[in-house]
């Protein structure tokens, strides 16, 4: 069995052994692994019969998240489509990624592209099966150029994704099906993949902040009321929560990862004072290197934290990542997490 199929089989194991366990909580609605399994059973035939990657129209609901897992276990790439994007941007994304059809919980699809059909359930009595997946097959394609200019697609293969999960579990966190993960990111942002992917592999749960509350209150409420134990956040979340820092009580929060922006030493000080029991990790990586690819653990004694001009160190590369500098002092990344760049710029970033 290939490494990629082992990774997909972990999802299957979660679905078979954690049936009544909470998979996700969205807008205070609880959904189990059995709910996820039923969704896959209903939609797998339609997904398999559709050519090309599957567009997933983004709604803040269970069906949207279930669609992403249904695509993976069917051996298909998903492409997140924000229905609020400008019409031309959506058309460019659909054309660039050769989307064959869309999954949309509201069965509206993309009105600007009426020829792009919504997949419908085609339930049958047989249980769904894992599709055979090659490590070079795409798992998802993200478009990251913003709302102006020609969209730039970053395709991540199942091999890239498996390498990330392999590297993540090699970081040594003590995690189990009892853990509760925060998922605070839009699904067009690749950090979301860790936030729902890792708990699914563990048979654990993830929690999505409500869109009915302003962001600081939604984040505060999710962290506190759901006893979150693992949180991946952008550093600016600390600034949002700073006014409530004295009121935060997060005794269950074991790990706080920060990514997506430079982590400031001042933010580390705020968070360590608010959550003295949590391990603070700074993680880093461009989209082309699959979610993130380096990790630095902040020492318990904050004065010993490695930083430059108040910006915390990005740390060491993960298990399947290589890291070096060229003669222009640019950080060059390689290894199994790095994409094959069909749609992308060269995977190089200035440090």
Annotated domain spans of the chain: 3-157, 163-350
Q: What's the topology of domain 163-350? A: Rossmann fold (3.40.50)
Cβ contact 192:214 at 8 Å: no
pLDDT, residue 247, reads 87
| Cβ–Cβ < 8 Å for 259, 238 | no
CATH architecture label of 3-157: 3-Layer(aba) Sandwich (3.40)
Q: What is the dihedral of CA 281, 69, 97, 159, to 10 degrees?
A: 60
pLDDT at 92: 92
Helix axes 191-202, 62-73, angle to 10 degrees: 80
Q: Where are the alpha helices (DSSP H) in 101-185?
A: 158-169
pTM over 0.75: yes
pLDDT for the residue 345: 41
Strand duo 101-103 + 54-57: pairing: parallel
For 184, phi then psi, to 5°, come to -105, 0
pLDDT attached to residue 348 = 45
**Common-topology check for domains 3-157 and 163-350:** yes
Number of neighbouring beta carbons within 10 Å of residue 74 = 22
pLDDT of residue 347: 44
Q: Residues of the chain whose pLDDT is less than 50?
A: 342-351
Residue 180's DSSP bridge partners are 205
pLDDT at 322: 92
């Amino acid at each position: 069995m290939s490494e990629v199929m082992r990774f997909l089989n972990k999802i299957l194991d979660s679905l078979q052994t954690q049936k009544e366990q909470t998979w996700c909580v969205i807008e205070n609605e609880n959904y189990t692994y059995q709910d996820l399994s039923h969704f896959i059973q209903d939609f797998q035939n339609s997904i398999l019969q559709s050519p090309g990657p599957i567009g997933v129209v983004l709604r803040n609901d269970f069906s949207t998240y279930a669609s992403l897992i249904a695509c993976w276990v069917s051996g298909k790439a998903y492409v997140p489509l924000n229905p609020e994007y400008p019409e031309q941007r959506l058309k460019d994304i659909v054309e660039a990624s050769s989307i064959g059809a869309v999954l949309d919980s509201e069965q509206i699809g993309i009105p600007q592209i009426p020829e792009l059909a919504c997949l419908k359930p085609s339930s049958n009595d047989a249980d769904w099966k894992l599709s055979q997946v090659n490590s070079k097959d795409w798992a998802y394609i993200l478009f990251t150029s913003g709302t102006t200019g020609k969209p730039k697609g970053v395709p991540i293969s199942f091999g890239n994704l498996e390498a990330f999960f392999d590297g993540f579990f090699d970081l040594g966190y003590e995690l189990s099906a009892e853990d509760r993960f925060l998922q605070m990111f839009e699904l067009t942002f690749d950090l979301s993949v860790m936030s729902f992917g890792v708990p699914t592999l563990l048979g654990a749960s993830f929690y999505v902040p409500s869109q009915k509350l302003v962001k600081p209150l939604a984040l505060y409420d999710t962290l506190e009321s759901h006893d979150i134990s693992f949180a991946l956040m952008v550093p600016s979340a600390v600034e949002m929560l700073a006014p409530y820092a004295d009121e935060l009580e997060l005794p269950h929060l074991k790990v706080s990862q920060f990514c997506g922006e430079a982590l400031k030493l001042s933010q580390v000080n705020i968070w360590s004072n608010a959550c003295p029991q949590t391990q603070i990790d700074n993680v880093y990586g461009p989209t082309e290197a699959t979610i993130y690819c380096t990790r630095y653990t902040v020492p318990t004694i904050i004065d010993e934290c490695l930083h430059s001009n108040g910006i915390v160190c990005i740390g060491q590369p993960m298990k399947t990542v290589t890291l070096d500098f060229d003669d222009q002092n640019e950080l060059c990344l390689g290894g199994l997490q790095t994409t094959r760049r069909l749609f992308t710029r060269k995977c190089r970033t200035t440090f």
